[in-house]
Structure 1
Amino acid sequence: MLIEVKVPQLSESVSEATLVSWHKKAGEAVSRDENLIDIETDKVVLETPAPADGVLVEIIMGDGETVTSGDLIAKIDTEAKASAGEEKKHEPAPEVTPPPAAKASSGGSASPSARKILDEKGIAEGDVKGSGRGGRVTKADAMGAGKGSSAAAAPVQVADGERPEERVPMTRLRARIAERLLQSKNENAILTTFNEVNMGPVMALRAEYKDKFEKAHGVRLGFMGFFVKAAVAALKKFPILNASVDGNDIVYHGYFDIGIAVGSPRGLVVPIIRDADQMSIADIEKKIAEYGQKAKEGKISLEELTGGTFSISNGGVFGSMLSTPIINPPQSAILGIHATKDRPVVENGQIVIRPINYLAMSYDHRIIDGREAVLGLVTMKEALEDPARLLLDV
């Protein structure tokens, strides 16, 4: 029996997607729930599982093609048998003949979209290490090939005096990030306030209990749990920081859904820790670790990226000293945290060395006044410098 493989239902805010990389070739056996292809939207990369056991007899739409919800992309025959040397019951989709240079290479075959990018770069398939099934070179592999890539790219031939360039298309996720950043800049009156926090008390607490914490909860005790709790304390005290603008209305949210900016191979994503006020530090650390792993694997779902009332961006993991984070619409504020460094500070008239972290909070000045923004950041500072407040909720 022939079964159709269709693009899964995309969210209402996503109109189209791109087929990234087929993990099976026409004529190969597939198992039920095995991932057939990655589909990239402007938010996440979705896996498309096989609906039944059988043979992938036809690939209708190849790598790099644009699709919408419900589009037919392949067919599976549940009664066919995949066997080397045995004639298939159905003719597979025609293969694109690779250029001579690619034929001579010893690497895995490249997808049509990947081959096009490699041809434009002047790179042979055999010089690129494929990450797809059986060493297949995917579009992402091709886009990353070249200078600074782990792949050994062939040198680009240029005329004397001419400086080399390469042009690659943005992924859907990167294009969406660019769109939202411009939207935030153009629609919000963004202002940033700064403060510094002595991380010594939190660091001492962590050093004392990190081993017991990990043994009890099965997750490392990081710093982000403290930052999330400190942010929630400020949002409770100054609800406007947790609000958003809808036309001429201000929407006050009676819940605390905190977005945590996480880097992924395809760009920045902001999964949501929902009802953070009701979670322990251990719960928060577990959720952050889960999102970090999902981001690496490209498995964060649309639901996990939807919503959010406030965001936290941690440039400190990359060594950032200071930044002005951009608001994530439709939110009205975002906290930027940075690298903690020993710095000289004055306490009681004496110069002492303390582990200092610079905090930056960007906010929409249309609805948030400087008073609320500054006092909100001070509340976070005070909570971090006296972490007992976070435990006692005072």
Structure 2
Amino acid sequence: MATEVKVPSLGESITSGILASWHVNDGDYVAKDQLLYELETDKITSEGLAETAGTVSLKVAEGDEVEIGAIVAEIDESAKKPAGGDEKKEDAPAEKKDAESAKAEEKPAKEEPAQEAASTKSKGLPPSPAVQRIAEETGIDPATIEGTGKDGRVTKGDMLKAAEKPAPAKSSAPVAAPAASAEDDGRVTRKKMSPLRKKIAQRLVAATQEAALLTTFNEVDMSRVMGLRKKHQESFVAQHGIKLGFMSFFVKAVVHALQAVPQINSQIDGDTLIQNHYYDVGVAVGTDKGLVVPVVRDCDKKSFAQIEQDIADYAKAARNGKLTIDDLQGGVFTISNGGIYGSMLSTPILNMPQSGILGLHNIQQRAVVVDGEVVARPMMYLAMSYDHRVVDGKEAVTFLVKIKEAIEDPDRLLFGI
């Protein structure tokens, strides 16, 4: 009896994904709950586990795009776990391969025309999705490759091997070939966008086309927050097992400002304006595959330590590709910290359908006037982008001033003023 391995549903908005990698080989014996594959979608990277033990038969290749519900493998439950360990299992195919190789070398010359005919016949077979993808990335025509697959079909391995070979010398005949492109001489590399990067691109373009974007700026003196962190950091770590960062202060300041200016905590749905009465704040996290925004829930009810722990857990999960679709949905406002990369000032783009996003930037010692005297203070520029269809300028400016006041005088967060 064979159990089908299907791509599970990952959320209403996800219809397909790329099978990024197999963690098993065709014909391997797998245990129940063993990791089989990684699936990359436009939102998250998920893992597929074996529902039962048995011998696995792979149905799709790495790099193939698969629909939700598609069968990617089968597990033969009737197969018994090999009794000799993996070493014995690996030796047999190697010996068999050597024997077949020797036998092939001994074939008489009269069989060669038959092989050539089979190879010619295989040219009419459509290439697999994996072969097509490599062909698009490398520019190699599968029809020019001698296939080693069944009936001479070109495999992914054939394409990769061909890609490693140096390009043939160009003809010196005048006007016989077009001029070399930038791709031909190695000056550029063409690579297909990942599902996540494509989704990010679509959402950013949609935000600029659908919303009436406007950005307001302010600056904040970080002296008090930096002083509190330095004063209480050691005790905070000893008590909670995590460092006190700047982000928990800004999350709390955002909640404080949302409560003071509730219009920011609303969004448009068609011709309806939805007013939110909860405070789930998204915190942008950079990964190798792109920017993701996991959501810290109920920030009005959580302590600084709980917020810091949530952010740390999300950041780790994001970089390991372990975020779930639920981790990314439902936020009412977003904070993006470009300062960790050295950004001095920017205009962040909305995370639709939210109506506001706060951009944090690099902290720099700058000369400012305090009580009539010029002094050096650690200053940060703040940028707040908002949807002008929902939020008026007065509300946006008031909101940003509330954040500035809360950061420069953190006692306000304690008393809610």
Give the TM-score, by structure 1 length: 0.82
TM-score by length of 2: 0.77
Q: What does 1:285-304 correspond to in 2, within 5 Å?
A: 285-304=308-327
- How far the C-alpha of 1:18 sits from its partner, in A, is 1.4
2:348 to 319, 325, 331: 325
Residue 268 of structure 2: which of 234, 237, 245 is its match?
Answer: 245
Q: Deviations over 1:37-81 (max 9, x none)?
A: 11111100111111122221x111111222222111101123323
Question: Secondary structure in 1 aligned to 2:78?
Answer: coil
Q: CA, structure 1 residues 282+113, in 2 after alignment: closer, same or farther (shift >3 Å)?
A: farther
Q: From the superposition, tell whether residues 360 and 343 of structure 1 become closer, same or farther in structure 2 (CA, over 3 Å).
A: same
Select 1:350's aligned residue among 361, 373, 398: 373
1:230-241 equivalences in 2 (<5 Å): 230-241=253-264
CA deviations 1:324-361 (Å, max 9, x no partner) are: 00000100000000111111111122111000010000
2:138 counterpart residue number: 120
> Quick one: structure 1 residues 33 and 309, their matched pair in 2 at CA, closer, same or farther if it must change by over 3 Å?
same
Query: Structure 1 stretches of 5 or more lacking a match?
Result: 88-110, 123-137, 143-152
CA distance in 1, matches of 2:260, 2:370: 27
| Aligned counterparts of 1:191 and 1:329: Cα–Cα separation in 2 | 14
Residue in 2 aligned with 1:257?
A: 280
CA distance in 2, matches of 1:262, 1:155: 40
**Retained in 2: the 8 A contact 1:243–1:331?**
yes
Question: Equivalent residues in 2 for 1:147-226 (5 A)?
Answer: 163=182, 164-226=187-249
Kindly provide the amino acid, as one letter, of the partner of residue 9 in structure 1. Answer: S
Q: CA deviation at 1:117?
A: 6.9
Indicate the RMSD between aligned Cα atoms, in angstroms.
2.5
Paired with 2:23 and 2:132, the residues of 1 have a C-alpha distance of: 14
Closer, same or farther in 2 for the Cα pair 1:115/1:181, shift >3 Å? Answer: closer
Distance apart, 1:84 and its partner CA = 2.9
Say whether the 8 Å CA contact 2:64–2:130 is kept in structure 1.
no
More divergent stretch after superposition (267-276 vs 155-164):
155-164
Q: Which residue number in structure 2 is paired with residue 129 of structure 1?
A: none
Shift of 1:155: 9.1
Identity %: 46
Render the CA deviation track for 1:62-119: whole Å, top value 9, x for unaligned: 11222222111101123323533458xxxxxxxxxxxxxxxxxxxxxxx956992797
2:321 is aligned with 1:315: no
1:36-115 equivalence runs, <5 A: 36-56=36-56, 58-80=57-79, 81-82=81-82, 83-85=89-91, 112=130
Query: What is the DSSP-based 3-state SS (H/G/I as helix, E as strand, rest coil) of the residue aligned with 2:413?
Result: helix
Q: 2:390 aligns with which of 356, 367, 376?
A: 367
Give the letter for the 1:188 counterpart.
A
Matched residues, number: 342
Task: Please say if residues 314 and 336 of structure 1, whose CA atoms lie closer than 8 Å, have aligned partners that are also in contact.
Answer: yes
User: What runs of 5+ residues in structure 2 fail to find an aligned partner?
Assistant: 83-88, 94-128, 141-155, 171-178
C-alpha distance in 2 between matches for 1:38 and 1:170: 17
The structural deviation recorded for 1:211 is: 1.1
